[in-house]
Structure formats: C-alpha cells, structure tokens
Amino acid sequence: MSPVRARSAVLDPACAEAIDLARGAAEELAGTGLVGDHEGVFAEDERVATHLFGCLDRAYLGWRWSVTVSRAARAKAVTIDETGLVPGPDSLLAPPWVPWSERVRPGDLGVGDLMPAAADDERLISVRLLEGDEGVLDWDESLAAPFGLAAGLETESAGGDQPALGDGAAARRSRVLSAIGRDETAARWYHSEHGPGTPLARSAPGPCVTCGFLTPLAGPLGRVFGVCTNEYAPDDGRVVSLDHGCGAHSEAIPGHLGHGIISPVIDEIGYDLVDMPGVALADTVFESLDHES
C-alpha cells in the first residue's frame, strides 16, 4: 500500500462499496469470528482500493485485516486482489532489526566464539602508517619492543604450528591500536568501577599512583593507568587509573584511616549515691556546700 498513490488516486465507487466481498475474503483467511468492524477504505490506484477490518485475534491486538479489491476497465464486477494482516497504529511490533555486530556487548563472547575486527575498524591502524620518517610511532613507540613489531614472530615447535616469539621478522601484527581506539579505551576504563569515581576509591587512604603494588602500563596509556598486583586488593590483575585506590594500599596506616579510635568520655565531676553496708541513704543528712564560713 502506497500512501503517495492513496492521496493522488480517486476512490472507485464500486470498489468502495465492496465491503461484504472484502469481509468474506478476510474471514476465509482468518477464520470465523476473528474479523472485526470495517475500519475504512482508501484508493491504491485507479479502480483499486483496500478495505481495512479490525483483527479480533488476541495474538494480534491492534492489527488489521487488509483486503485489496479491484475492477477492470469498463467492468462492473469487483474482484479480490490480495488479503493480509497489517499492523495498525496501536499494534505491538518487533523492535527494528540491528546487525549482530551492533547487538553484541562486552562479556557476550564465550569459548569458541569469534568476533574479528572489521577491516575499517577505526580503533585499529595499520602498522605501515606508524613506521618510517613520516609515521606516528612517536606517540606509541613502546609498542615495538614488547609485542614484536621489530623482532617479529616465528614458528618454534616440532610440528611447526605453534607461534612463539623469536628473532625472525617473517610474521608480525598488521594493525595496532589507533589514537581513536586509545582514547575510547581510556575513557571507558577511567569511568568504570576501576576509576576514581567509585566509593572504594574515595574512601582509600591514598591513590594507586603512590601504591607499591601498582605496575604502570607502557605507552601513552601508562600516563593514566596501571595494573594492580596486590592479591588482597579487589582490583588484583585489573587495569586501574592512577587516581583510583582501595584499602589495600601498600602504605596504608591503620591509625590514619577514617576518624581513628574515639576515646571514652569519663565524667570526673558528677557522682552517684549508693547504699553501703551500715549506711542507708534515707538516714544520711546532707549539708549544703553553699554556706557562709
């Protein structure tokens, strides 16, 4: 059904009056008792019109039966073109389809699942763009040594199918983290539960940058992040921001945590009257301290 043609086409009277014919076609498709009231008719084209009927099927609340009828030129008989179920303005519809690459979320991948990065993934950049006199290795030159950009990877096993670090340059990474990927990663990590904005960090005796258990990262990310190596810390083995913190700080001093130990209050001025053997409070005479000497 085209709303553009419906506005420009003139409704054919014979097609418009074929309500009973259209209802019969809808009931033949839907079954008895599932076709509701006639909800309108509109022109599809010259001598072509579509009738709408309410749908009484509880599985399709808000939907409508659509029956298109037509009449040949200079013919008086109206015939059925097509019948179907179409959504109405209040019908329940499935959400718009989203590609799987946009539906997947962190933590969704399991054992054996594969999610290769697209060729145009902006988070990655070709190593060739980082090399040479006009490259941008100055912002991440530390990638070369630990990951074999210079040394490369070679096969080192009896079967020849196990990759291992070596001195050859036959194989190496073709792409590395781009500036966009680096910035997105930094923002995601910094605003996570391992950043400075958590209650754990705000109540810590000191930031991670002053903790002996912090191992800084190499490269630009190392200016803001490190890895916690304290097995008793809640962030052990995780990337934390340098201004994160927890109670397992290496230099934490128990006496300086919180408000310290509150000393008990001892009342050295007031007193209580108690009974003693041979002395009864009822028989005791008290003298006022406010007397003239």
Give me Rg for the CA atoms of the chain.
Answer: 41
Q: Nearest CA to 221 among 244, 204, 239?
A: 239
Q: What is the pLDDT of residue 176?
A: 85
Q: Using one digit for the tens of pLDDT, what is the confidence trace for 121-154?
A: 888 888 877 765 444 454 444 444 444 444 443 4
Tell me the average pLDDT across 5-20: 82
Sheet strands (E) in the chain: 35-45, 48-55, 63-70, 79-87, 124-126, 153-155, 163-165, 175-177, 214-216, 225-228, 239-241
How far, in Å, CA of 57 to CA of 36, rounded?
9
Residue 235 buriedness (CB in 10 A; 0-12 / 13-18 / 19+): buried
How far, in Å, CA of 71 to CA of 76, rounded?
7
Percent of the chain residues past pLDDT 70, beyond the cut: 70
Q: Using one digit for the tens of pLDDT, what is the confidence trace for 89-128?
A: 888 888 888 887 788 887 777 777 777 777 888 888 888 7
Is 169 a residue whose pLDDT tops 70?
Answer: no
Q: Nearest CA to 222 among 234, 210, 214, 213?
A: 214
Q: Using one digit for the tens of pLDDT, what is the confidence trace for 257-279?
A: 444 556 667 776 766 766 677 76
CATH of domain 180-252: 4.10.490
**Residue 158's Cα: distance from chain center in Å?**
44
Give the residue carrying structure tokens 């409704």.
11
Going from N- to C-terminal start, the domains of the chain cover: 3-87, 121-177, 180-252
| pTM, entire model | 0.47
Q: Which residues have a Cβ under 8 Å from the Cβ of 114 and sit 6 or more positions away?
A: none
Q: What is the pLDDT of residue 225?
A: 96
